[in-house]
Amino acid sequence: MRRYESGMRWCVWRWTDVDWRGETYLLRLHLLKTPWGAIMLHWINGPDPHPDPHDHPVDFASLTVRGGYTELTPKGRNRRRFRLRRAIDIHRIVEADPRTLTLVVCGPVKNEWGYFTRSGWKMDWKMYRDMLAR
């Protein structure tokens, strides 16, 4: 299995395990990644393990191919087969059918991942991860 290395600008057919405390909650296959965008498959194995919502570094479109998931946004809960998201949109996956599969098409990187804590401010994902690991 060819693994994705963080920071790669170009890749074809690279896998990423997104795990929390030793459990993979998302498996990602980059079918193609370029500086202008990417096409990926995501196997979602459960809800987001973190208690706070997050944004993304890219604008993206997501189509659920198998299963489904429910997310919580500032507008409430939703469960859709197709989603369009801006990088600044915040959400949190709160329920997911086992091995949900999505096709994701995204644009270029616009910002860093961030979490919106209960105190209402955006925290860099690395700081957030380190805070929860303590």
Q: Where are the domains of the chain?
A: 11-133
Residue pair 80/103 in contact (Cβ under 8 Å)? The answer is: no
Report pLDDT for 118.
82
Which residue has 């979602």 as its token pair? Answer: 44
pLDDT tens digits, the chain, 134 residues: what are they? 677 777 788 999 999 988 777 788 899 999 999 999 999 999 999 999 999 999 999 999 999 999 999 999 999 999 999 999 999 999 999 999 989 999 999 999 999 889 998 877 788 878 887 887 77
Residue pair 39/50 in contact (Cβ under 8 Å)? The answer is: no
Whole-structure pTM value: 0.89
E strands of 21-75, at which residues?
A: 23-34, 37-44, 60-66, 69-73
CATH 2.60.120.10 for domain 11-133: yes
Token digits for 74? 């500032």
Report pLDDT for 133.
77
CA-wise closest residue to 61 among 43, 32, 37, 28: 37
